[in-house]
A and B are shown apart, each in its own frame.
Chain A
Amino acid sequence: MSRISPVTGHYVDVDVDGLLYKVFYLENGQGQPLVCQHTAGCHNHQWRGLLEDGEVTKDYRVIAYDLPRHGKSDPPENTQWWTQEYQLSADHYANFIVALVDALELENPIFMGSSFGGNVALQLAHRRPDRFAGVIPVEGADYSPGFYLDWWQHPHANAAQVCASGVWDLMAPQSPEADRWKTWFYYSQGSEAFKGDLYFYSVDHDLRDKLGEIDGDRCPVVMLTGDYDYLTTPEDSARTAGQIKGGEFIEMKGIGHFPMSENHSVFRTYLLQALALLQSKSRVVDAV
C-alpha cells in the first residue's frame, strides 16, 4: 500500500512592484493560515516536518511557499533578470509577501519565517500590522550584519559546496545527522539566490531605530531563536523583542539557525508554545 502524503503543491500568480511571478507553495491542514518562509538560499522543504505535523495542521492551514528564485518559484516572468545582479530589498520582499497572502485571499494569516524570513517577519509587523494576525520571527533580529559575502558566488570556488558547507555550523551538533544533511543538500541548490537574499538579511534590513514603532499588541510578535545560532544569537533576538511593545522571546535549547529543517521534533515543542502565546495575546487584543 503506497503512502501518499496529504501535503499538496500549487502555483499561484503574484503581481507585485511591476514583476510577475509564478509562485509554488506546499500546503496542508485546515484553520487559520500559517504562512511559512524558508531561509535565504533555500526552499520550502525546510518545512517538511511541520507540513505533516498533525498537531499543528489540525488547527492551522500550513502554507510553505518558495520565494521567487528559490525551489520551484522561477525568477520574474516579465524581465530580463539575467542582465541584473539580484539584491533583495526590504521593500520588495515585504510587498511580495503581502501580495502573496492577498492572491491566496488569506484571512488573519500568521506569518512565520526563519533567518531572513525572521527578519522580514519583523518588517511585516512594522509595515502591515493590519494584514497579519501575528508574526513568529525565528532566528530573527533588528539587524544582522556580516553575511553579505562574495564567497557565496566566487567563481574560483564551488559555490554549491561553499553555500552548503558554509552554513553547516549554523546547525547544532545535536540535531539529527540526516536532517542536517538534507539541509546541506538544499543549500547546495541555491547558491545563485543566496548572496542576493543576504543583501536583505545583512544590508537592507535595519530596524534598530524602528522597533518602538512596532505595535505588538495589534500584531503580536513571538520570537524564537536557538542557542547554537552564531549569526543571530539569543541575545540579539532578546534585545529585539525587548524593544517591541508586547514583544515576546523564547530561547530554544540545543538547536541552531535552521530549527524547522535541522530538528523539527525539538522545534515543534517551542513552536507550539509560541502559537499558544500568540493566540493568548490575540484574544486579549480581540477583547479590548
Chain B
Amino acid sequence: MIATTSTATPTDWADAFARASNDDPEIQAHGKYFTCSYLLDMGERTFVVEVSRGKVVAVAVDPGPLEVSYQFALRASADTWRNFGVPVPAPMYHGIWSASFQRDLKLEGDVLVLMQNLRCFTRQFELLRTVGVPV
C-alpha cells in the first residue's frame, strides 16, 4: 500500500485511495451492494468518490460547481483531515462519529445512504490511516 504525503498530487492520492479500497479484502468480501457517492471536503481540496458494487469507479478531484453530484458529504478542516490520515489517530480523530461528536466534522446530505453503506464505508474511511491525506 502506498503511503502518500501532503506533497503528493491530489490525483496521485485519488488513485492510491481507489486502489487501496479496490484491493481491500474486507470491502471486497462485504461490498456486493456497497454503492454510493460522497463528497470529501478537506478545506483545501475536495473530492467526490463514486463507489459501485464495492469498487471505487471514479474519484473527482476538486470538481467545479455543478460538475459532479453526490449523495452525502463529509466536511472538516484540513487540520482534522491531517489527523485522520495517520496510522494511529489521536482520540476523537479515530472515526467519523468521534470527530462529528467532538471535533469539526460535519455529516451532511442524505445521511440514510451513509447508514445503508456504513459497514464498508467505515472500513473505507480507515484506509486514510495507510493512504494518508492530500492536504
Contact = CB atoms under 8 A, between A and B. Distances in A.
B71 to A, nearest CB: 13
Interface in A138-197: 146, 151, 154, 156-158, 161-162, 164-166, 168-170, 172-174
A173 B88 contact: yes
B8 to A, nearest CB: 23
19 contacts: A151-B111, A151-B115, A154-B112, A154-B115, A157-B116, A161-B118, A166-B97, A168-B97, A168-B122, A169-B122, A170-B97, A172-B94, A173-B89, A173-B129, A227-B91, A230-B91, A230-B92, A230-B98, A233-B102
Interface string B89-133: 101101111100110000000011001101101100000010000
A151 to B, nearest CB: 5
Interface of B: 88-89, 91-92, 94-98, 101-102, 111-112, 115-116, 118-119, 121-122, 129
Nearest to A154: B115
A116 interface: no
Interface of A: 146, 151, 154, 156-158, 161-162, 164-166, 168-170, 172-174, 227-228, 230-231, 233
Given A161-B118, A230-B101, 10 more contacts: A146-B101, A151-B115, A158-B118, A162-B115, A165-B118, A168-B95, A168-B122, A169-B96, A170-B98, A173-B94
Contacts of A231: 101
B75 to A, nearest CB: 18
Nearest to B97: A169
A165 B119 contact: yes
A229 to B, nearest CB: 8
B112 A156 contact: yes
Given A168-B95, A173-B89, A230 B102 contact: yes
A12 B96 CA distance: 41
A124 B13 CA distance: 52
A156 B113 CA distance: 9
Contacts of B89: 173
A153 to B, nearest CB: 11
Contacts of B115: 151, 154, 157, 162
Contacts of B118: 157-158, 161-162, 165-166
B32 to A, nearest CB: 13
